[in-house]
Structure 1
Amino acid sequence: MLLELGHSARRTRQEGSTLNDRIDPRITRTTQALERAIVELASERPVSQITVAELADRAGITRATFYNRYSTPLDLLVSVLYADLDRGHRLEAERAQEGRSAVELLRLTTAEVGDHVERFGPVYRRSLGDPSDSGVYEALVRHFRNYALTFMTHSNLPELPDASRNVIAQFMAHGFAGVIKAWLNDTSFTKDDMVDAAVACAPAWWAPGYLPGTP
């Protein structure tokens, strides 16, 4: 029996190794080419004006390859933006273990979002500046809403309000997205101004990183 289990475990490891070996490096190159292409094009004009044909041409792939992965250029762009935002949240989780104060965590978290917006500044400005193109802004709101819901679900703070968490999450999401939009629309409004405004408007119970198992 132990011998059979040993053979089974080896087969499992071998199958996993074979699966990894089967991951064609061309898939990674295609993904990277698509991500570069959508960021370049969305920096030139709103994503609603980008066609799959020109996106595929810029990435050096076929339209069929694109549709095997995404439905629209907006889907691809949102996945790129979300991936970058998620990297910032991983930093937030690490900082939460360092014993920082709630206010400091909030400032650092908001500044990290500001860094993300600066990295993709032309993309956000093109999209937010076009009345017919609300996809990127709506994606930003969805991201903050999901973040707020996750925070409230797992937070161990007793100060959480006794009200609909879905409504609260929407309120918080539109507030954070709104302050970013105001920052992008006003050249005299700096990133520090954006961070100051977001921290000033955050409710007293909002303490990023203060989840179960953290100080």
Structure 2
Amino acid sequence: MAGCNVNSREGGMLNDRIDPRITRTTQAFEQAIVDLAAQRPVSRITVAELADRAGVTRATFYNRYRTPLDLLIQVLHADLERGHRLEEERRAQGGHSARELLRLATTEVADHVERFGAVYRHSLADPADSGVYEALVRHFGDYALAFMNRGHHPGLPEANRQVIAQFMAHGFAGAIRAWLNDPSVTKDDMVDASVACAPAWWAVDAVATDTSDRP
């Protein structure tokens, strides 16, 4: 993907203690899958061409991953997690209201989608490539569930949280789809609409709860 070097991002997937050769191989795979997925849907990328672009063997690929989709999802997930860590740092530092944090977090996700815009657009255009979108929904669902379980949120309804999380995840992913599918919709439009549609309890400062006695 032009302009998106997955190896130079702060807070990457790799541990500094890993053998440098393993690190280089992983970085080569990550950059190769992003470059190729920016050109066409990941469902049309073969392991042979991915390994060739990364400069390694197919056996090396299969020692690490099952499919090109698995590798791509790992790369996208790692980049999303970097944004979530930044959100947690802001939350810990204080000085931001819940609504401000919501907008900042939504903007971080929008920035992520923009960085990998070609990848996401290809995945949405090909019915056989739904794995990327489904992974995005799962990620948002896990994030929403973790958010609800952190502290007490005044106004949070007494309903099944798994269902609430899925409702919100599909809604947010749908907003991203609408943005990517319509050139007239801007990134700011997507952020504004998503923040405006967020439930009131999400934008209310949470009350910390003591979980020290919980298993």
What TM-score, normalized by structure 1, do the two folds share?
0.86
Q: Specify the alignment match of 1:136 in structure 2.
A: 132
* Structure 1 residue 184, shift from structure 2 partner: 0.4
List 4+ stretches of structure 1 deviating above 3 A. 20-23, 207-213
Q: Which amino acid aligns with 1:94?
A: E
Q: 2:55 aligns with which of 55, 60, 81?
A: 60
What TM-score, normalized by structure 2, do the two folds share?
0.86
Contact between 1:151 and 1:211, CA under 8 Å: does it hold in 2?
no
Task: Give the SS at the match of 1:44.
Answer: coil
* Structure 1 residue 208, shift from structure 2 partner: 8.7
The 5-angstrom pairing of residues 91-102 of structure 1 reads 91-96=86-91, 97-102=93-98
Give unmatched runs, 5+ long, in structure 1: 1-19
* Structure 1 residue 92, shift from structure 2 partner: 0.6
Identity %: 76
Q: Specify the alignment match of 1:116 in structure 2.
A: 112
Q: Specify the alignment match of 2:157 in structure 1.
A: 161
Task: Give the SS at the match of 2:203.
Answer: coil
Contact between 2:153 and 2:202, CA under 8 Å: does it hold in 1?
no
* Structure 1 residue 23, shift from structure 2 partner: 3.8
Count residues in correspondence: 194
Q: Specify the alignment match of 1:203 in structure 2.
A: 199
Cα-Cα RMSD: 1.9
Contact between 2:41 and 2:129, CA under 8 Å: does it hold in 1?
yes
Q: 1:151 aligns with which of 137, 147, 150?
A: 147
Q: Specify the alignment match of 1:3 in structure 2.
A: none
Contact between 1:42 and 1:126, CA under 8 Å: does it hold in 2?
yes
Contact between 2:34 and 2:119, CA under 8 Å: does it hold in 1?
yes
Q: Which amino acid aligns with 2:107?
A: A
Deviations 1:70-93 (A, max 9, x none): 100000000000000000001111
Q: Partners in 2 of 1:22 and 1:212 — Cα distance?
A: 35
Q: 2:35 aligns with which of 23, 40, 61?
A: 40
Q: Partners in 2 of 1:208 and 1:38 — Cα distance?
A: 40
Q: Partners in 2 of 1:120 and 1:148 — Cα distance?
A: 22
Give unmatched runs, 5+ long, in structure 2: 1-14, 210-215
* Structure 1 residue 102, shift from structure 2 partner: 1.5
Q: Which amino acid aligns with 1:167?
A: V
Deviations 1:78-111 (A, max 9, x none): 0000000000001111111322111111111101
Contact between 2:69 and 2:132, CA under 8 Å: does it hold in 1?
yes
Q: Partners in 1 of 2:16 and 2:35 — Cα distance?
A: 31
Q: Partners in 1 of 2:80 and 2:131 — Cα distance?
A: 16
Q: Specify the alignment match of 2:23 in structure 1.
A: 28
Q: Partners in 2 of 1:161 and 1:36 — Cα distance?
A: 43
Contact between 1:107 and 1:195, CA under 8 Å: does it hold in 2?
yes
Q: Specify the alignment match of 1:183 in structure 2.
A: 179
Task: Give the SS at the match of 1:156.
Answer: coil
